[in-house]
Amino acid sequence: MKQRVWLRRNGPSFTFCSKSDAKEWTIHEEKSFNSNNKEKEEDWKRYSPLFETDWDKRATIDSMLRVDHAGEVGAREIYAGQLAVLRGKRISEVIEEMAQQEEKHFQCFEKLLVERRIRPTLFLPLCRVAGFSLGALTALMGEKAAMACTVAVEEVISQHYNDQIRTIHERKWKEEEHLKQTLREFRDDEMEHHDTGIEYEAESFPFYRNLTRIIQWGCQTAIHITRRL
């Protein structure tokens, strides 16, 4: 079972602890840092970045990239499902262009998972099936419904990337500057897809509001689940 190391404050002291995946606390090693003792205070400053910041950062980045990878798998399948129904129609070229950008995003996150030794979500097969089914179903409802699906999904993904960019910026993770720039680039692509959906009359679909709410709820649920599993 994987263990994470934590520091817990206990008055003027700090305790090294490990937190198992089962959420049970066990004392791993105990060491007091008296705030009135200059030498001990220097000890705390030395240990703090290792046990507090670095471990937290690794867990946060792992979660980010796991969700992003799952999201791009789903997005790629959504466009594949739409093309399976709408190929040859006037809008198919637009969908193919967006699908190519999603493929680029997917390949990037696939590479990052391997490089950083991050396992993908356990729900990857479900992401594929759900994505393709959603794309095909909305395409069967018509081109405007397909574009409404695009608007709903891309709005959630754009906001999700914005949240990740903000996290990296606020925590001053300078070594993740390249990742932040990648997320910005992909965020801009997703916003462009969103605007394309609006341009192709997504909002004129009769059940636009209800459909987009349902799809966005599904996307947000998927994000929540794939953060850890």
Mark the binding-site residues, compressed into ranges.
72, 102, 105, 154, 190, 193
| Interacting residues of 218 by C-beta distance below 8 A, sequence separation 6+ | 130, 134
Counting other chains too, the contacts that 25-32 makes at CB distance below 8 Å and 24 or more residues apart are 28/3
Hey, what are 224's tokens?
């929540």
| Alpha helices for the chain (secondary structure H) | 38-48, 55-86, 92-115, 124-140, 143-170, 177-199, 208-226
Nearest Cα residue to 197 out of 183, 211, 184: 211
Round to the nearest angstrom and report the end-to-end CA distance of the chain: 15
- Using CB atoms within 10 A of its CB, is residue 127 exposed (0-12), middle (13-18) or buried (19+)? buried
**Residues making up the binding site for Fe cation:** 72, 102, 105, 154, 190, 193
Are 78 and 226 within 8 A, CB to CB?
Answer: no
- Would strands 25-31 and 3-10 be described as parallel, antiparallel, or unpaired? unpaired
Q: Give the integer Cα–Cα distance in Å for 191 and 64.
A: 19
